[in-house]
Amino acid sequence: MTDIIIDHKSLFDTMPVPRFLVSVEGDEFKVVEINNRALEYFDRRRETIMGKSVDDFMDSENARHFNQSFEVCVGQKVPVTIQALPNLPGSIRVHGFWINPLLDEHGNVTYLDIMAQPDASDESILQRERDDAISLLTSIFDVSEIGIVVTDHNGRIVRVNDSFVRNYGWKRDDIIGYDFAMLLTPDERRLARDNHENYIVSGERSSGEMKLIRKDGTIANVIFTTATLELSQRRRFQVTNLMDITMRKQMEVSLHVAKEQADAANHAKSSFLANMSHELRTPLNAIIGFSELMLNETFGALANEKYKEYMGDVLLSARHLLEIINEVLDMSKIEAGRLELDEEPVDLAGLMESVMRMMASRAFSSGIELDDEVPDNLPKIYVDSRLIRQVLINLISNSVKFCERGGHIFVKVEVVDNGGMQIVVSDDGVGIPKDRVKEALEPFGQVKDSTLAAKNQQGTGLGLPLAKAMMELHGGELFLKSDEGMGTVVTLYLPEQRVLHNPDDINRFK
């Protein structure tokens, strides 16, 4: 019995007349199922009826009337018909109720099926329900903001909604009864007709894009969805929804053109930077070389000590300019995806020793203490040594630049738990405001602020972005933690794949 109720529950719930099911347990009758129309008829919520007897939701006169009828039906095991009393609260009008006994395999009544009889004097309830449904669907069709076209099995237009008329300019008299393909651009008509014929026969749904001709001759790009509707006498119609995406298409074209222009401009920029860098580095190398010769007084003493001082400034400026050019060139190569790694097994301890020795004099001249902690038994790493060296120099140079005299810089190297390698460069310098840390990692994103009035802020703003990009080229990461007045901590991480824990590890790179 329970299986039957479950299988037919949808039909039961949507019946157009009130209906409910009562269980029979001795002298007790409890409601075990009730449909939506019955809830409306009794003007009750489901939870106030389910599992209750009729005494709990009817007045005493109606409850007694139903209970007596239940007893007769159970006793005689035959259907019983009763008239409805006039004082039930619901607005639905019924003539009476059928009470049908449901028997088990032993012939005992286990349930009573109670279904209302429509009131014959109230015209036709079913007709009113059908009219209401048609009215609702018609309203939805007409008020929809999406254009809707209905075509018959021959592809002729039988109906369009107001939104279609408003959006595309066609009057109903212009297109009703005509082939729908006339609305499409000529290149799409044959395929559209073939698809329409297939979808009408198969009932298959479809969606896609097409070009529709407006009344004024302009072309609209639309997204369409179609569904097949079958009515009486096996008549089939195709309902097509149309959403205008012309503006979106135009924007896509504009964005595509803009992207091509941006790519061309970026290519031109990269070519310019590469050419400029080459042209500038040649004379700069000459200036640096000759300046070193003159400072060393290779071919004789300078006549005036002031000249020697000026020559030192020339050499320092040339080296600084060459450093800037190299950074710009490296960044342009990275952005263009043209910077290739020259990888090899590298002794990180030895690399760190050379970098620390190089930076020690700069830190000492600025009155800054520079320390490091590098284990003796570090495994080798498989990297581009030039780039890793540049990353370390950039980071330590930044720390020197933004530490006050008496400050401290500490570099620590360690193998982390997951087998990767970690290098931490920390300082107690002026730091970067937390809300501007992201800006410092953007190319040319120097954080220039009166609060960061360090003794030397010259540069391109490429040191940190370059370090970050170079670590990412190795599959690694760079993390920056800083706050104003609290110093800066930069953490470099190389994944386990880059760390040669065993001699055989080199084979994975061959």
Domain boundaries, the chain: 2-122, 144-244, 250-335, 344-509
Q: Render the burial of 223-258: b for 16+ CB within 10 Å, e for the rest.
A: ebebebeeeeeeeebbebbbebeeeebeeeeeeeee
Give which of 67, 66, 73 is closest to 109, Cα–Cα. 73
Tokens at 385, concatenated: 């040594």
- Bridging pattern class, strands 421-427 and 408-415: antiparallel
The per-residue pLDDT for 126 is: 54
The pLDDT value given to residue 4: 44
How does DSSP classify residue 363?
H
Cα separations in angstroms, 445 against 55, 225, 251, 426: 80, 48, 31, 21
- Given a contact cutoff of 8 angstroms between Cβ atoms, the answer to whether 421 and 499 are in contact is yes
Dihedral pair phi/psi, residue 425, rounded to 5°? -115, 115
pLDDT at 452: 46
Express the helix, strand and coil content of the chain in percent, nearest 5 each.
50, 25, 30
- Rounding to the nearest 10 degrees, give the CA dihedral for residues 450, 451, 452, 453: 50
Chain position carrying tokens 């014929």 = 197
pLDDT at 453: 44
315 or 170, which is more confident? 170
How do residues 210-241 score in pLDDT, each as one tens digit? 899 999 999 999 999 998 888 777 788 889 99
Per-residue pLDDT at 318: 78
Q: For a pLDDT cut of 90, what percent of the chain falls above it?
A: 27
Identify the pLDDT of residue 133.
Answer: 57
Domain 344-509 has CATH 3.30.565.10: yes
**Core vs surface per residue 423-434: b (16+ CB within 10 A) or e:** bbbbbbbbbbbe
pLDDT of 6 reads 46
Say how far apart CA 99 and CA 66 lie, in whole Å.
9
Residue among 30, 59, 33, 58 nearest 46 (CA): 33
Q: Residue 337 pLDDT more than 90? A: no
Mean pLDDT of 479-493: 92
What is the C-alpha to C-alpha distance for residues 210 and 180, in angstroms, rounded to an integer? 13
> Band of the pLDDT at 371, cuts 50, 70, 90?
very high
Alpha helix stretches (DSSP H) within 77-185: 125-143, 162-168, 172-175
Question: Any idea which of 6-10, 160-164, 341-345, 436-440 has the lowest mean pLDDT?
Answer: 6-10
pLDDT higher than 80, residue 276? no
* 40, 90 contact by CB (below 8 A): yes
Residue-by-residue DSSP string for 230-267:
E-GGG-EEEEEEEEE-HHHHHHHHHHHHHHHHHHHHHH
pLDDT (tens digit, 9 = 90+) per residue, 390-400?
Answer: 899 889 988 99
Backbone dihedral region for residue 416 (phi beyond 0: left; psi -120 to 50: alpha; all else: beta): beta
pLDDT band at 421; cut points 50, 70, 90: very high
Confidence at residue 336, expressed as pLDDT on a 0 to 100 scale: 66
Q: Does domain 250-335 have CATH number 1.10.287?
A: yes
In the predicted model, is pLDDT for residue 330 greater than 90? no
> What is the CATH number assigned to the segment(s) 144-244?
3.30.450.20
- The residue that leads in pLDDT, 311 or 187, is 187
From residue 355, how far is each of 261, 322, 408, 458 by CA, in Å?
42, 19, 17, 21
Taking the C-alpha atoms of residue 297 and residue 308, their distance in angstroms, rounded to an integer, is: 9
d(CA 185, CA 335) in angstroms, rounded, equals 43
Superfamily of domain 2-122: PAS domain (3.30.450.20)
Which of 99-113, 245-259, 273-287, 309-323 has the highest mean predicted lDDT (pLDDT)? Answer: 99-113
* pLDDT value, residue 61: 85
Q: Give me the pLDDT at residue 450, please.
A: 42
Q: How many residues does the chain have?
A: 510
In the sheet where 499-500 sits, what is the strand order?
344-346, 380-383, 499-500
The whole-number pLDDT of residue 303 equals 76
Residue 128 has what pLDDT?
Answer: 60
Q: What is the mean pLDDT of the chain?
A: 83
Mean pLDDT confidence for 185-195: 90
State how far the Cα of 296 lies from the Cα of 302, in Å rounded to an integer: 10
Average pLDDT over every residue of 150-160: 89
**Digit-coded pLDDT (tens) for 406-416:** 999 999 999 99
**Would you say the CATH fold of 250-335 matches that of 144-244?**
no
The more confident residue out of 454 and 427 is: 427
Residues 264 and 480: their CA atoms lie apart, in Å, by 33
